[in-house]
Structure 1
Amino acid sequence: MSSMAIPHSTTAAHKSLARRVSALLYRRSTLALLLLLTPPLLWFGVVYLGSLLTLIAQSFYTFDDFTMQVTPEWTLANYRALLDAANLDIVLRTVSMALAVSAMSALLAFPLAYYMARYAKGSEKAFFYVAVMLPMWASYLVKVYAWTVLLAKGGISWWLIEKLGLTPAYEWMLTLPGIGGSTLSTSNFGRFWVFVYTWLPFMILPIQAALERIPDNLLAASSDLGARPWQTFVHIVLPMAVPGVVAGSIFTFSLTLGDYIIPQLIGPSGFYIGNMVYSMQGSIGNMPMAAAFTVVPIVLIGVYLTLAKRTGAFDAL
């Protein structure tokens, strides 16, 4: 009989302890929140911020070109080197591409996002969601390699240009300054479109979310007050969609800044920030210079996020 009573009393004790702990956490919500957030905050603080601060610290280290060794002697030489003509050209090339990709992604994403938010219903909206997100499920590297085939001279893009009789215009375009290359796959123009294709879903979804938040009665009131459709769009829809556009551009801008695979596989030779970091760290072993290049997108994205926050972009994420 005593052997049967022990498990029962143990179970009761466990239940009593659980009730006391539950009551304590209920009365002290701050303690419950602290226990809940401590593990992820430790991970974020130690692993992410720790590695980031270590990287930034290494950008002040000294790299000996003769011995190929990194020494913890603090210097600003790496940041001064960023202002050299060649390195500054890499930064400006990357930033200009990121801005152009963000602008074109917004132009292409807005009509589709508007239709998804205002007109698509039920299964049709589900179809559009799947169609937008499906490319994101495929391997990033496979998609980029597929575009090298599509843009090559024997690819479908060349075939379509020939069928449409656009070969003279195509060849003339490739001679324009800044385009460069004998085919789309070796030109900045082709690289630009691969960037746009790759990051476009990240622009569509935030814009669609922002447009869905526009109340229908607001649009109806605008119509009742005599506003034409284009006036409603310009004065109501577009301003309220701006946070979604900015939120999408956070993704397209930052992802283009740090990417090194597309510049490596598509377009003419020429470094971007991502390529430069990879080359400095992997091929040369100049970790301080690679870290200095890494600080550039960190600063740019930090400034961009600060400006984006003022537009309410985070509410559209």
Structure 2
Amino acid sequence: MLSGAVRRVSVILWRKPGLSAGLLLAPPLGWFLLIYIAALAALFISAFWTTDSFTGEIDRTWTLSNFQAIFGSETYRLIALRTIFMAAAVTITDVILAFPFAYFMVRLASQRQRVALFTLVLVPLWSSYLARVYAWRLIFAHEGVLNWVLHGLGFQSIEIGYTNWAMWIVFSYIWLPFMIMPIYAALERIPYSLFEASLDLGAKAWRTFFKVILPLAMPGVVAGSIFSFSLTLGDYITPVLVGGPGSDFIGNVVYANVGIANNVPFAAAYASIPLVVMGLYLMAARRSGAFDVM
């Protein structure tokens, strides 16, 4: 009885592949709409509310006062610009570091070397995020590994800890694997015959790179940049542990207003800035054709 019903359902799904695909996608799409889209909608709606300074209750009267406070304050503008600039700097740095690394893995490394390099890329992801950040704090400390090496080489010590430079280095290190893997996948899909054709036509190495390799690998670059850019925009732990005072990010302001200040509408308004920035970035990437299938 049960096997007959299962067989009939299987026949129906086989004859109607659209129904089969719809049933397959329904649970993840439903979860996505319920959790992610609904949370974003609640975020944007609450950004137009305010908090009563006397009672601490949320006033659901629609107003633009939160956004006026953000853009009217030099401090909040500076924090937003610092966050966006750091995210862009980290993304560019990771692209510059990841591209030759991924290219070597795809075109030059032997099978054994490729496995070893994959291990080096993935092993840091097995450790805690906090453990990696604290490790960099020890490296940047006054008596840390960095100054110990500099003293051994005859140089003076440097005080790089608790600066924006330290944050830039730590962010670039943490998100580098998320840039290497998409670029590797994109480079691996490029047929070797295109390299041979470029050489046969007399193109030099740099011309081959800019005219053949980079355009075809651009989807991987964009995919990796989405990770590094968005993760840096939303981070608030590294600025506290490595950046120190005066290095607040958007996430730090959001965290302070959700917890200490208990001003959730203002936190929602400020949290919408990285969402808007990422939306504009994705639109620009799409218009440039970076999402086109190779």
**TM-score relative to the length of structure 2:** 0.93
Q: What letter is aligned with 2:184?
A: Q
CA distance in 1, matches of 2:212, 2:13: 46
Deviation at 1:262, TM superposition (A): 0.3
1:263-300 CA-to-partner distances (Å, cap 9, x unmatched) read: 01002312210111100101111000100111111111
Higher deviation after alignment, 222-231 or 150-159: 222-231
Aligned to 2:34: 46
Which whole-Å CA distance do the structure 1 matches of 2:129 and 2:279 have between them?
26
Aligned residues: 292
Structure 2 equivalent of residue 9 of structure 1: none
CA distance in 1, matches of 2:198, 2:26: 49
Larger radius of gyration: 1
1:311 CA drift (Å) = 4.4
Show the counterpart of 2:161. 185
Identity among equivalent pairs (%): 47
Secondary structure at 1:184's aligned position in 2?
A: coil
Whether 2:287 is the aligned partner of 1:279: answer no
Q: Which ranges in structure 1 are unaligned for 5 or more consecutive residues?
A: 1-12, 171-182
Structure 1 partner of 2:94? 105
Which contiguous aligned blocks of 4+ residues in structure 1 show a shift greater than 3 angstroms? 310-317
Matches within 5 A, 1:1-317: 13-83=1-71, 84-167=73-156, 170=158, 183-270=159-246, 271-314=248-291
**Displacement after TM superposition at 1:202 (Å):** 0.8
Alpha-carbon distance in 2 for matches of 1:230, 1:43:
46
SS at match of 1:167: coil
State the Cα distance separating 1:76 from its structure 2 match: 0.6
2:58 match: secondary structure: strand
* Structure 1 residues 94-132: Cα deviation after superposition (integer angstroms, max 9, x where no partner): 000000111111111111111011112322211111111
Structure 2 CA distance for partners of 1:214 and 1:119, relative to 1, 3 Å? same
Does the 8 Å contact 1:187/1:266 carry over to 2?
yes
Specify whether residues 211 and 316 from structure 1 end up closer, same or farther in structure 2 by C-alpha distance, changes over 3 A only: farther
Tell me the CA shift for residue 66 of structure 1.
2.9
> Cα offset for 1:315?
6.3
TM-aligned CA distance change 1:250 to 1:316, over 3 Å: farther
Q: For residues 89 and 48 of structure 1, what CA distance do their matches in structure 2 show?
A: 29
**Aligned-partner residue type, residue 285 of structure 2:** A
Q: TM (normalized to structure 1)?
A: 0.87
Q: 2:251 and 2:27 mapped to 1: Cα distance? A: 31
Stretch of structure 1 that moved more, 97-106 or 58-67: 58-67
Structure 2 stretches of 5 or more lacking a match?
none
- The residue aligned with 1:5 is none
Contact 1:210 1:316 in 2 (8 A): no
Report the secondary structure of 2:202's partner residue.
coil
- 1:97 partner letter: M
* Aligned amino acid, residue 165 of structure 1: G
Offset at residue 86 of structure 1 (A)? 1.1
**RMSD, matched Cα:** 1.8
8 Å contact kept, 1:113–1:204: yes
